Amino acid sequence: MIIIKKYILKETSKEEYKVLSREEKVCPICKSKLTPIGSRIRITYLISGKRVSVRIRRLRCTNKKCYKIHHELPDMLVPFKRYELSAIYSIISGKENQVGCDEKTIREVHRWWKGISNYGQTIKTIKDFKEFIHDLYLLFL
């Protein structure tokens, strides 16, 4: 998975968006060029609770020794989470009433956050949270 910061979300239908990357694509493992091989749908929930589909590209490393497949994930999404970044940030910062989700989801987000928040970074803004998530993901590549 590659988290991208420069992109455009293009609405392709009522509840589907396509991610158009504006970044150079290099493999995070071997730094070789990546080429598109297709796309897939990522279901996500906005802070309002609205369910939308986001089409993200699948990219393959051109280095035959690596040859890994990566997905371009816009930084508005959190790896392996269904809610967008602003919704998760609202939950962990105590503003659960601003997020359109149920109590179970709120508990799960708090449990997830408790497990990863001990990595020593102070989160004061949503920008800090976005950078923390990106850096945390890079640790596990």
* Angle, CA 129 vertex, CA 127 and CA 131 arms, to 5°: 70
Q: Tell me, what amino acid is at 15?
A: E
**How much is the pLDDT for 122?**
67
**How much is the pLDDT for 119?**
64
Mean pLDDT taken over the chain = 89
Q: How far apart are CA 64 and CA 101, in angstroms?
A: 44
**How much is the pLDDT for 117?**
74
Q: Quick one: average pLDDT of 105-121?
A: 81
**How much is the pLDDT for 55?**
96
Q: What is the pLDDT of residues 67-97, one digit of tens each?
A: 999 999 999 999 889 999 999 999 988 999 9
**How much is the pLDDT for 57?**
95
